[in-house]
């Protein structure tokens, strides 16, 4: 082919016109939407963003475009809400507009719109109401859950005592302990730490979490149809999900065989009873697909984020031994060496409470929050956001908002203490998000973090071979010593 000939020139001209037409039509559609970088055809802004460090990329975009801006994941526009005031104005003051769950293409491929987290409309309302009631009935926010956590903490202490003075990675044991809490409520049983089935389940969840957060996993959200057909590590997610579904199905069958409708033992029993009650209702939301995905929602949400927060806690306390010492002195003064810490102790431990809040703020476990979507076309801060637009409440920008935290990039428990050393709340403390879509298990997570962490610090001094000044606060694995205090 003659690349300098008339035919080639015409082809180049036509392609250029098509690209310009695409960009013009896109700009025309977006002219009243929040500003943002100009997307490329098909690719959107993927080449302009660091997908591995997306939160940092969004921080930079906010510096240019303000607290409400748009970027494109492939051809799909996404509106970002930046800063505490912006997020609260949308999710609280305009909750009726911003309360839908936004599309997560990867999750839609895996779960459709079943379950609690990804659903909308009547399905979401019914499943959330049912799940909240059931979780409360089985201990969430009650003393029975407190006793379960204290009981599990003793198993955790046994494992750490076996390794006293030896460097070990705490990730595995923290995941097991936290996971057993949600297992007790959902499956009606806790698992031994050596149980092969339990370990395999956790391994599948952990691997899927890692794969979803990999670069190829992130690209599925931009190009779902394309990426599901391309070979790569991300394809393992689908096999893992099939294995998880098989595990849940086996548990459901076990429950069906031993179900006593007058004496439900756990979440699955309650769901099965509800399925039986509504079997004549053609519009029922209580069927197996919703049960399966809801169980996975609860199991994953009740394991990964809380255990990750605890792991970050230990790392930060190694980095800041003075903070560890102060917390232990407060535990010694309020709780003493013999009894388990209780939730009632929390109000008498302002420094510990401030440290835990600061750990959650600084760790920033879910930086983008889960995506929301607009239920109708709305005008927000002068911009038009069409119905169904995906909206990210950028939680990093809330937890690190300089308007509310004087040193947002620094770990400082003083962010939650007043001049008298008393604990003080902050409007910008939203690690569980806010509004109608606030985390279902917020109360349970807070109880677990306080009780597990204080119990560990009551019994062990955390030590490392690293100099505190050299400790890098990253998500990478690390090892430490649990040195018995008594």
- 283: burial class by Cβ within 10 Å (0-12, 13-18, 19+)? exposed
CATH number for position 243: 1.10.630.10
Asked whether residue 52 is domain-assigned, the answer is: no
pLDDT score of 10 more than 60: no
Asked whether residue 418 is domain-assigned, the answer is: no
H helices of 80-195, where? 84-88, 95-98, 105-111, 121-137, 143-162, 171-186
Coil, strand or helix: which one is 373? strand
Asked whether residue 111 is domain-assigned, the answer is: no
The pLDDT of residue 306 is: 94
pLDDT score of 3 more than 70: no
pLDDT in tens, 169-187: 999 899 999 999 999 999 9
Mean pLDDT of the 136-153 span: 81
User: 284 and 278 in contact (C-beta within 8 Å)?
Assistant: yes
Distances in Å between the alpha carbon of 234 and those of 133, 202, 240, 407?
A: 36, 18, 10, 38
pLDDT in tens, 280-313: 999 999 999 999 999 988 888 888 889 999 999 9
CA 62 to chain centre: 23
Cβ-Cβ contacts under 8 Å for 173 (sequence gap 6 or more)? 156, 159, 160, 193
Determine the Cα–Cα distance for residues 52 and 80; give it in Å rounded to an integer: 18
pLDDT score of 142 more than 60: no
pLDDT band at 28 (very low <50, low <70, confident <90, very high): very low
**What is the enclosing helix (H) or strand (E) of 463?**
strand 460-463
Which one, of 464, 325, 430, lies nearest residue 91 by Cα? 430
In angstroms, what is the C-alpha Rg of the chain? Answer: 25
83 φ, ψ (degrees, to nearest 5):
95, 150
pLDDT in tens, 54-85: 899 999 999 999 999 999 988 899 999 999 99
pLDDT in tens, 232-276: 777 888 888 888 888 888 999 999 999 999 999 999 999 999 999
Asked whether residue 250 is domain-assigned, the answer is: yes
User: 335 and 363 in contact (C-beta within 8 Å)?
Assistant: no
Percentage of the chain surpassing pLDDT 70? 92
Determine the Cα–Cα distance for residues 151 and 184; give it in Å rounded to an integer: 12
- Return the half-sphere exposure (C-beta side, CA atoms, 13 A cut-off) of residue 417: 16
Distances in Å between the alpha carbon of 220 and those of 60, 110, 140, 215, 366?
A: 23, 11, 35, 9, 19
Q: Among the listed ranges 23-32, 265-274, 382-391, which one has the minimum average pLDDT value?
A: 23-32
pLDDT score of 327 more than 90: yes
Partners of 390 in beta bridges: 78, 373
Which one, of 46, 100, 69, 38, lies nearest residue 222 by Cα? 46
- DSSP of 385-417: E-TT-EEEEEHHHHHT-TTT-SSTTS--GGGGB
Asked whether residue 163 is domain-assigned, the answer is: yes
Determine the Cα–Cα distance for residues 355 and 313; give it in Å rounded to an integer: 9
Domains contained in the chain, number: 1
138 φ, ψ (degrees, to nearest 5):
-105, 25
Q: Which residues of 288-322 are buried (b: 16+ CB within 10 A; e: fewer)?
A: eebbbbbbbbbbbbbbbbbbbbbbbbbbbbbbbee
User: 76 and 33 in contact (C-beta within 8 Å)?
Assistant: no
Distances in Å between the alpha carbon of 405 and those of 18, 132, 392, 409?
A: 48, 32, 22, 9
The pLDDT of residue 140 is: 57
Range of 477's domain? Answer: 121-344+457-484
The pLDDT of residue 336 is: 95
The pLDDT of residue 29 is: 47
Partners of 129 in beta bridges: none
Determine the Cα–Cα distance for residues 36 and 64; give it in Å rounded to an integer: 8
Determine the Cα–Cα distance for residues 99 and 372; give it in Å rounded to an integer: 6
- Length of the chain in residues, anyone? 486
Coil, strand or helix: which one is 336? coil
Partners of 385 in beta bridges: 378
User: 348 and 81 in contact (C-beta within 8 Å)?
Assistant: no
Q: Walk across the sheet containing 100-101 and list its strands.
A: 68-73, 76-82, 390-394, 372-373, 100-101
Mean pLDDT of the 457-485 span: 91
* pTM of the predicted model as reported, rounded to 2 decimal places: 0.89
Asked whether residue 189 is domain-assigned, the answer is: yes
Asked whether residue 78 is domain-assigned, the answer is: no
pLDDT band at 40 (very low <50, low <70, confident <90, very high): very high
Determine the Cα–Cα distance for residues 336 and 485; give it in Å rounded to an integer: 12
Q: Among the listed ranges 223-227, 377-381, 412-416, which one has the minimum average pLDDT value?
A: 223-227
Asked whether residue 265 is domain-assigned, the answer is: yes
User: 211 and 237 in contact (C-beta within 8 Å)?
Assistant: yes
The pLDDT of residue 85 is: 98
The pLDDT of residue 419 is: 94
């Amino acid at each position: 082919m003659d690349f300098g000939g008339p035919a080639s020139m015409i082809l180049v001209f036509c392609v250029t016109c098509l690209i310009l037409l695409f960009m013009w039509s896109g700009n025309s559609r977006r002219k009243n939407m929040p500003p943002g970088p100009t997307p490329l055809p098909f690719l959107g802004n993927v080449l302009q963003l660091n997908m591995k460090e997306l939160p940092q990329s969004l921080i930079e975009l906010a510096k240019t475009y303000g607290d409400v801006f748009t970027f494109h994941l492939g051809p799909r526009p996404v509106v970002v809400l930046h800063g505490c005031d912006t997020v609260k104005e949308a999710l609280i003051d305009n909750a009726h507009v911003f309360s839908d769950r936004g599309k997560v293409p990867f999750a839609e491929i895996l779960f459709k719109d079943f379950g609690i987290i990804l659903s909308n409309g009547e399905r979401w309302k019914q499943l959330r109401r049912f799940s909240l009631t059931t979780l409360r009935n089985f201990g969430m926010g009650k003393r029975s859950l407190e006793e379960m956590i204290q009981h599990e903490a003793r198993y955790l202490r046994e494992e750490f005592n076996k390794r006293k003075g030896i460097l070990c990675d705490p990730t595995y044991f923290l995941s097991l302990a936290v996971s057993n809490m949600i297992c007790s409520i959902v499956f009606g049983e806790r698992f031994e730490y050596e149980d092969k089935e339990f370990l395999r389940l956790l391994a599948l969840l952990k691997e899927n979490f890692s794969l979803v957060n990999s670069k190829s996993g992130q690209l599925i959200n931009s190009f779902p149809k394309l990426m599901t057909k391309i070979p790569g590590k991300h394809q393992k997610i689908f096999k893992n999900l099939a294995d998880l579904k098989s595990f849940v199905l086996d548990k459901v069958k076990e429950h069906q065989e031993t179900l006593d409708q007058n004496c439900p033992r756990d979440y699955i029993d309650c769901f099965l009873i509800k399925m039986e009650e509504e079997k004549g209702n053609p519009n029922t939301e209580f069927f197996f697909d919703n049960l399966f995905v809801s169980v996975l929602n609860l199991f994953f949400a009740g394991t990964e984020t809380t255990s990750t927060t605890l792991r970050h806690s230990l790392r930060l306390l190694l980095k800041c031994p003075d903070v560890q010492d102060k917390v232990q002195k407060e535990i010694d003064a309020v709780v003493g060496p013999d009894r388990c810490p209780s939730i009632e102790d929390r109000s008498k431990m302002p420094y510990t409470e401030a440290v835990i809040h600061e750990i959650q703020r600084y760790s920033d476990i879910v930086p983008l929050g889960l995506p929301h979507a607009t239920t109708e076309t709305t005008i927000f801060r002068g911009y038009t956001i069409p119905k169904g637009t995906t909206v990210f409440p950028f939680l990093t920008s809330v937890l690190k908002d300089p308007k509310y935290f004087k040193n947002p990039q620094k770990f400082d428990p003083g962010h939650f203490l007043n001049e008298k050393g008393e604990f003080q709340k902050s409007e910008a403390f939203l690690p569980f998000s806010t509004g109608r879509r606030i985390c279902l298990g917020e109360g349970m997570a807070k109880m677990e973090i306080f009780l597990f962490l204080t119990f560990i610090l009551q019994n062990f001094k955390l030590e490392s071979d690293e100099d505190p000044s050299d400790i890098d606060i990253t998500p990478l694995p690390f090892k430490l010593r649990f040195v018995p205090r008594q």
